[in-house]
């Protein structure tokens, strides 16, 4: 028999123009449980959680919190009531200190509105200590890593003695070690009776840490099951209506001539003496922990960063380090790591975002050809099954995964010769993820050279013909064929780190 | 969503307030809604409006151009003075060339050197004011053959019952609107304003894009100076003083965001016209000239407040 739920929602409905994001949703959170919320991109997971955290007002339905019907007036109100949302995209103020961020908007003040600095520091450091964070309350948040920033958000759970903590895709940018630490923290919260909601597209995590799973589909609850009574296939079927092969499709290993060769690329402080090459039809994986310098290397090749030294060869001819424009015109494409900062103009719709890197291809004598833009938009909307109400719906209104698909679309649509994919499946649901893996294989078989950066080991191993292991800015090992195994990669990366630490 | 709805309501509130104001003035000053007065307002608006077209490009990239006020003074002095020296046609060419040159200099400093737009154009504002005094030696200039020159057509002429300056402004607005809506340059402007980093990752050279928006702004101010010189048939050393703020107020009143990336030419046309009627209405009601400045100030504050309010709503929603 379950204890009384801390939080129940009954019949919640939320409509945006053109989309019913939540349709009569009911579910509950017990104290001391980790409750998974899963579903395809755009199923309504983030929307539901934003309703609980007071960011959206539902059109209908009720929230029962600690036994009493409750109105959540806003994010601060939610926090003070003990409901804490840890966002899909972190939302801290980089210029403020850790302590100020923990209490953002609810700083302790005296009668005259003057900040009680000492109390703020004391409370903040108590919260940080309780979590075992390795940094103090005075550090500026902008200088912290993503994982540390997340700890700052979690510290709010301590500071406001939260009863419900919601994690929206918390591990998207964490290394494995950081993920283990996060899970340790989550288990700690759980022991203290906090109810936890855990949203993720990574099924292994779901089966590792959660007690119950609720599946959302098109804004409706498909059902809630106990994690120990179910399996991956059943959950997948509830999510997308079919099961998926556990196998990766790898492109046939038929390579053409060399497309890109890099020799001795260096940038002090970021990476050192990086050399590799990639051929037509080949998928080259770059594996490494977050912070290994992989993104910096490809950004330099593409031309958004400057190098100190190094030589590039494009189709066997020596070239100067290009500008992004030259790279694109040669036939290079870079799907960048961060969709909101580097990938999309959020106020534009899918149509305009897709054509942005190729304005010349989509125009005649500088006049934009809108029918051509629309045709390409429609092509990728259906090819990648992107959920959007139309070509001009601002991409800021799309779910995280659907935004990511437009980043892919804008780089695929001009038929590049070399495509570099930096974490291409971050935040993408299981169904679309395997579609993207198939797409990668398909691109390679059509003769493109592909470079894939991923922190997910099965993904790198599954799609690549050859993998370079990077650590601390250097290529430390290269594997292909039978040598492509998890053990080898882990060994290469951690061995090197061990050496560097010693 | 709730917050954005609020933004919409507040914006409609602004239009409503404007209509109430119009009605109020019309009831108290009979001259207000006469065709003659309306055409007068439109004539005045055609000058600020022409400048605002170019400034809209700059603001869409998330930057400012405060130099247009003294640029208008300088160019008006040049067009009038050169009209006397070299004749109307060379005067017009020189004025437009000088406008383009100043725009290019702003664009170089902001786009390529990467200096702060506010600082650069504010410094340019005061530099150009100095240049005006240097050029004119402190005295006002007048067109000597004001009665016979064809130069008069730009500020005083009529065509099909409409003042030529108003026609120039409308044509300019249509061209600017088409450029922003339908060309790849327009797309770059919105891209750079909306997300500069993502635009750079898309191979757009943000430096050139910014550069050209300032060139456009210099050019439209040049056209405005020709209208001004032709209308006044002379130029004082302070003729464009304060225009930079009126123009900016019109642009943001129309709803083009100071943060860049959203807005349009037709919004600017509406904003700058509203401002024109407000200022004219205040004069007709018998308020002193300086009351216009208080009102312009209030309009800027309210419009920016609404803009940021709506933005914040969007981020939360
Ligand atoms: N502010 C908004 N305006 C309009 N539509 C919105 C807005 N926010 C979300 N939506 C729509 O609501 C639906 C649900 O979005 P939501 O972000 O909740 O999905 P999600 O399940 O979190 O997906 P993902 O796994 O991709 O993060 C989507 O179709 C999305 O486009
Ligand atoms: Mg989401």
Phi, psi of A141, rounded to the nearest 5 degrees: -60, -35
Choosing from A188, A214, A240, the residue where a domain stops is A240
CB contact under 8 A, B187 and A324: no
Minimal Cβ distance to A347: which of B182, B201, B262: B262
The whole-chain average pLDDT of chain B stands at 90
For residue B208, what pLDDT band results from cuts at 50, 70 and 90?
very high
Residues A236 and A351 grouped into a single domain: no
CA distance B270 to B275: 9
Which residue(s) pair with A451 in the sheet? A284, A420
State whether residue A160 is helix, strand or coil: coil
Which residues make Cβ contacts (< 8 Å) with residue B53, sequence separation at least 6? B169, B172, B173, B176, B216, B220, B265, B268
Six token digits for residue B278: 């407000």
pLDDT at B260: 92
CA distance B211 to B103: 8
Q: Is the pLDDT of residue A177 over 90?
A: no
Measured from the Cα of A48, ligand 1's closest atom is 18
Q: Are A133 and A187 in contact (CB under 8 A)?
A: no
CA distance B287 to A133: 64
Percent of chain A beyond pLDDT 70?
97
Long-range contacts for A269-275 (Cβ within 8 Å, ≥24 apart)? Answer: A270/A296, A270/A473, A271/A296, A271/A297, A271/A300, A271/A470, A271/A473, A271/A474, A272/A473, A272/A474, A273/A474, A274/A310, A274/A470, A274/A473, A274/A474, A274/A475, A275/A475
Minimal Cβ distance to B195: which of A328, A345, A357: A345
pLDDT at B5: 45
Which residues make Cβ contacts (< 8 Å) with residue A151, sequence separation at least 6? A128, A131, A133, A185
Six token digits for residue A484: 């492509």
Distance A47 CA to ligand 1 centre (A): 6
Q: Is the pLDDT of residue A138 over 90?
A: no
Q: Which residues of A touch B183 (CB under 8 A)?
A: 363, 366-368
- The ligand whose atoms approach the alpha carbon of A18 most closely is 1
CB contact under 8 A, A325 and B1: no
Which residue(s) pair with A260 in the sheet? A278, A314
Distance B278 CA to ligand 1 centre (A): 42
Structural domain contains residue A188 = yes
Q: Are B244 and B125 in contact (CB under 8 A)?
A: yes
Structural domain contains residue A277 = no
Q: Are A25 and A44 in contact (CB under 8 A)?
A: yes
pLDDT in tens, A264-295: 999 998 999 999 999 999 999 999 877 788 99
Choosing from A223, A240, A257, the residue where a domain stops is A240
Number of domains in chain A: 2
For residue B55, what pLDDT band results from cuts at 50, 70 and 90?
very high
Which residues make Cβ contacts (< 8 Å) with residue A208, sequence separation at least 6? A183
Structural domain contains residue A133 = yes
Instruction: Pick the most confident of A91-95, A289-293, B254-258, B302-306.
Output: B254-258
Which residues make Cβ contacts (< 8 Å) with residue B105, sequence separation at least 6? B124
Residues A352 and A228 grouped into a single domain: no
For residue A350, what pLDDT band results from cuts at 50, 70 and 90?
very high
pLDDT at B163: 93
For residue A328, what pLDDT band results from cuts at 50, 70 and 90?
very high
The mean per-residue pLDDT over the stretch B112-133 comes to 96
pLDDT at B314: 42
Cα nearest neighbour of A353 on chain B: B191
- Which residues 391-430 of A have a C-beta within 8 angstroms of B? 396, 410
Residue nearest atom 6 in ligand 1 by C-alpha distance:
A397
Q: What is the CATH number of the domain that holds A181?
A: 3.40.50.300
CA distance B212 to A175: 44
CA distance B111 to B65: 12
pLDDT at B310: 62
Q: Is the pLDDT of residue A1 over 60?
A: no
CA distance B276 to B280: 6
pLDDT at B66: 97
DSSP-derived secondary structure letter, A220: E
CA distance B95 to A92: 50
Choosing from A213, A240, A267, the residue where a domain stops is A240
State whether residue A305 is helix, strand or coil: coil
pLDDT in tens, B14-52: 777 788 888 888 888 888 889 889 999 999 999 999 999
pLDDT in tens, A404-457: 999 999 999 989 999 999 999 888 888 888 888 988 999 999 999 999 998 888
Percent of chain A beyond pLDDT 90?
59
The mean per-residue pLDDT over the stretch A202-231 comes to 94
Q: Is the pLDDT of residue A89 over 80?
A: no
Which residue(s) pair with A189 in the sheet? none
Q: Is the pLDDT of residue A245 over 90?
A: no
Six token digits for residue A444: 């390679």
**Nearest C-alpha of chain A: how many angstroms from B69?**
31
CB contact under 8 A, B187 and A410: no
CA distance B23 to B285: 12
pLDDT at A500: 45
For residue B192, what pLDDT band results from cuts at 50, 70 and 90?
very high
Q: Which domain holds residue A381?
A: 347-415
CA distance A146 to A181: 13
The mean per-residue pLDDT over the stretch B78-98 comes to 95
Residues A224 and A356 grouped into a single domain: no
DSSP A360-414: TTTEETTEE-HHHHHHHHHHHHHHTT---S-TTSBGGGS-HHHHHHHHHHHHHTT
Kindly provide the residue ranges of all beta strands, DSSP E only, lying in A233-340, ordered along the sequence. Answer: 258-267, 271-279, 283-287, 309-314, 317-319, 332-335
Q: How many residues does chain A have?
A: 502
Residues A223 and A360 grouped into a single domain: no
Measured from the Cα of A50, ligand 1's closest atom is 18
Minimal Cβ distance to B184: which of A347, A360, A396: A360
Long-range contacts for B4-13 (Cβ within 8 Å, ≥24 apart)? Answer: B4/B310, B4/B313, B4/B314, B4/B317, B6/B309, B6/B313, B7/B306, B7/B309, B7/B310, B7/B313, B10/B306, B10/B309, B10/B310, B11/B255, B11/B306, B11/B310
CA distance A119 to B103: 53
Instruction: Pick the most confident of A133-142, A263-272, B169-178, B275-284.
Output: B169-178
Residues A377 and A236 grouped into a single domain: no
The mean per-residue pLDDT over the stretch A470-490 comes to 89
CA distance A297 to A265: 8
Beta pairing, strands A332-335 & A449-454: unpaired
Start-to-end CA distance of chain B, whole Å, equals: 5
Q: Are A326 and A320 in contact (CB under 8 A)?
A: no
Nearest to B171 by CA among B220, B205, B125, B127: B220
Six token digits for residue B127: 């530099």
Q: Is the pLDDT of residue B7 over 70?
A: no
Q: Is the pLDDT of residue B288 over 90?
A: no
For residue B8, what pLDDT band results from cuts at 50, 70 and 90?
low
Residue nearest atom 18 in ligand 1 by C-alpha distance:
A44
Beta pairing, strands A363-364 & A309-314: unpaired
Beta pairing, strands A83-86 & A164-168: parallel
SS (H, E, C) chain B: CHHHHHHHHHHHHHHHHHHHHHHHHHHHCCCCCCHHHHHHHHHHHHHHHHHHHHHHHHHHCCCCCCCHHHHHHHHHHHHHHHHHHHCHHHHHHHHHHHHHHHHHHHHHHHHHCCCCHHHHHHHHHHHHHHHHHHHHCCCCEECCCCCCCHHHHHHHCEECCEEHHHHHHHHHHHHHHHHHHHEHHHHHHHHHHHCHHHHHHCCCCHHHHHHHHHHHHHHHHHHHHHHHHHHHCEECCCCCCCHHHHHHHHHHHCCCCCCCCCCCHHHHHHHHHHHHHHHHHHHHCCCCCCHHHHHHHHHHHHHHHHHHHHHHHHHHC
pLDDT at B202: 97
Residue nearest atom 1 in ligand 1 by C-alpha distance:
A397
pLDDT in tens, B224-274: 999 999 999 999 999 999 999 999 999 998 889 888 999 999 999 999 999
Distance A140 CA to ligand 2 centre (A): 28
The mean per-residue pLDDT over the stretch A35-50 comes to 94
CA distance B20 to A101: 45
Q: Are A394 and A348 in contact (CB under 8 A)?
A: yes
Percent of chain B beyond pLDDT 70?
93
For residue A194, what pLDDT band results from cuts at 50, 70 and 90?
very high
pLDDT at A46: 93
Q: Which residues line ligand 1 (CB under 6 A)?
A: A 16, 19, 21, 39, 41-47, 387, 397-402, 429; B 1, 317
ipTM for this model: 0.88
Q: Is the pLDDT of residue A501 over 50?
A: no
Minimal Cβ distance to B201: which of A342, A368, A396: A342
Q: Which of A76, A356, A372 should one mutate to test binding to chain B, selecting the residue with the greatest count of B CBs within 10 A?
A: A356
CA distance A305 to B174: 39
- The ligand whose atoms approach the alpha carbon of A168 most closely is 2
Residues A209 and A82 grouped into a single domain: yes
Q: Is the pLDDT of residue A122 over 80?
A: yes
Q: Is the pLDDT of residue A13 over 60?
A: yes
The mean per-residue pLDDT over the stretch B146-175 comes to 92
pLDDT at B12: 64
Q: Which residues of B touch A413 (CB under 8 A)?
A: none
Residues A230 and A377 grouped into a single domain: no
State whether residue A280 is helix, strand or coil: coil
pLDDT at B1: 37
Structural domain contains residue A340 = no
Which residue(s) pair with A63 in the sheet? A9, A70
pLDDT at A408: 94
């Amino acid at each position: 028999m379950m204890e009384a739920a801390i939080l129940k929602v009954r019949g919640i409905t939320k409509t945006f123009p053109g989309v019913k994001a939540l349709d009569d949703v009911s579910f509950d959170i017990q104290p001391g449980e980790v409750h998974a919320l899963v579903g395809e991109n755009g199923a309504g997971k983030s929307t539901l959680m934003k309703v609980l955290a007071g960011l959206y007002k539902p059109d209908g339905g009720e929230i029962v919190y600690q036994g009493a019907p409750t109105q959540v007036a806003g994010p601060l109100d939610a926090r003070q009531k003990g409901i804490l949302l840890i966002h899909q995209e972190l939302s801290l103020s980089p210029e403020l200190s850790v302590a100020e961020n923990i209490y953002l908007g609810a700083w302790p003040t005296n009668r005259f509105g003057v900040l009680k600095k000492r109390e703020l520091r004391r409370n903040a450091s108590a919260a940080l200590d309780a979590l075992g964070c390795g940094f103090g309350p005075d550090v500026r948040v902008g200088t912290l890593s993503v994982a540390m920033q997340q700890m700052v958000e979690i510290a709010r759970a301590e500071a406001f003695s939260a009863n419900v903590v919601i994690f929206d895709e918390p591990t998207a940018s964490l290394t494995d070690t950081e993920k283990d630490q996060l899970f340790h923290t989550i288990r700690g919260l759980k022991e203290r009776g906090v109810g936890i909601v855990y949203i993720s597209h990574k099924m292994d995590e779901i089966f590792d840490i959660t007690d119950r799973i609720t599946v959302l589909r098109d804004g409706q609850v498909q059902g809630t099951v106990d994690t120990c009574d179910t399996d991956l296939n059943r959950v997948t079927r509830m999510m997308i209506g079919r099961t998926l092969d556990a196998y990766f499709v790898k492109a046939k290993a038929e390579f053409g001539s060399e497309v890109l060769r890099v020799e001795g690329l260096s940038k002090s402080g970021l990476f050192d003496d990086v050399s590799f090459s990639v051929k037509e039809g080949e998928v080259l994986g770059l594996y490494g922990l977050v912070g290994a310098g992989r993104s910096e290397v490809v950004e330099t090749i593409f031309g958004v960063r400057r190098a100190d030294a190094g030589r590039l060869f494009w189709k066997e001819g020596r070239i100067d380090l290009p500008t992004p424009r030259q790279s694109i015109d040669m036939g290079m494409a870079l799907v960048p790591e961060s969709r909101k900062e580097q990938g999309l103009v959020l106020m534009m719709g899918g149509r305009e975002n897709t054509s942005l890197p190729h304005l010349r291809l989509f125009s005649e004598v500088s006049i934009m050809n809108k029918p051509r833009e629309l045709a390409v938009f429609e092509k990728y909307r259906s090819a990648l099954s992107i959920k959007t109400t139309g070509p001009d719906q601002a991409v800021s209104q799309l779910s995280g995964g659907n935004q990511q698909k437009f980043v892919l679309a804008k780089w695929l649509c001009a038929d590049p010769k070399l495509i570099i994919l930096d974490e291409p499946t971050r935040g993408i649901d299981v169904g679309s993820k395997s579609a993207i893996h198939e797409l990668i294989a398909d691109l390679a078989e059509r003769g493109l050279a592909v470079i894939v950066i991923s922190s997910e080991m099965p993904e790198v191993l599954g799609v690549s013909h050859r993998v370079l292991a990077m650590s601390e800015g250097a290529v430390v090992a290269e594997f292909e064929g039978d040598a492509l195994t998890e053990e080898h990669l882990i060994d290469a990366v951690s061995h090197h780190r061990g050496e560097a630490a010693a | 969503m709730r917050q954005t709805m609020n933004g919409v309501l507040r914006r409609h509130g602004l239009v409503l307030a404007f209509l109430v104001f119009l009605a109020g003035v019309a009831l108290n000053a009979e001259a207000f809604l006469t065709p003659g007065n309306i055409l007068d307002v439109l004539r005045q608006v055609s000058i600020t409006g022409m400048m605002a077209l170019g400034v809209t490009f700059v603001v869409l990239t998330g930057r400012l151009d405060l130099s247009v006020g003294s640029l208008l003074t300088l160019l008006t002095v040049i067009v009038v003075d050169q009209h006397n020296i070299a004749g109307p046609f060379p005067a017009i060419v020189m004025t437009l060339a000088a406008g383009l040159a100043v725009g290019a200099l702003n664009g170089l400093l902001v786009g390529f050197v990467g200096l702060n737009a506010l600082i650069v154009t504010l410094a340019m504002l005061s530099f150009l004011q100095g240049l005006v005094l240097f050029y004119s030696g402190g005295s006002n200039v007048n067109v000597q053959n004001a009665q016979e020159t064809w130069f008069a057509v730009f500020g005083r002429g009529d065509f099909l019952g409409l003042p030529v300056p108003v026609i120039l402004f409308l044509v300019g607005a249509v061209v600017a609107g088409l450029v922003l809506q339908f060309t790849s340059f327009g797309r770059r402007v919105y891209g750079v304003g909306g997300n500069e980093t993502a635009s750079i990752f898309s191979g757009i050279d943000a430096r050139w894009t910014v550069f050209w928006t300032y060139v456009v702004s210099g050019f439209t101010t040049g056209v405005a100076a020709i209208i001004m010189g032709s209308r006044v048939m002379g130029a004082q050393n302070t003729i464009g003083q304060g225009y930079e703020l009126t123009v900016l107020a019109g642009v943001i009143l129309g709803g083009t965001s100071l943060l860049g990336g959203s807005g349009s030419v037709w919004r600017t046309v509406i904003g700058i016209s509203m401002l024109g009627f407000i200022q004219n209405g205040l004069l007709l009601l018998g308020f002193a000239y300086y009351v216009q400045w208080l009102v312009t100030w209030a309009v800027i504050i309210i419009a920016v407040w609404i803009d940021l309010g709506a933005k914040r709503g969007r981020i939360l929603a």
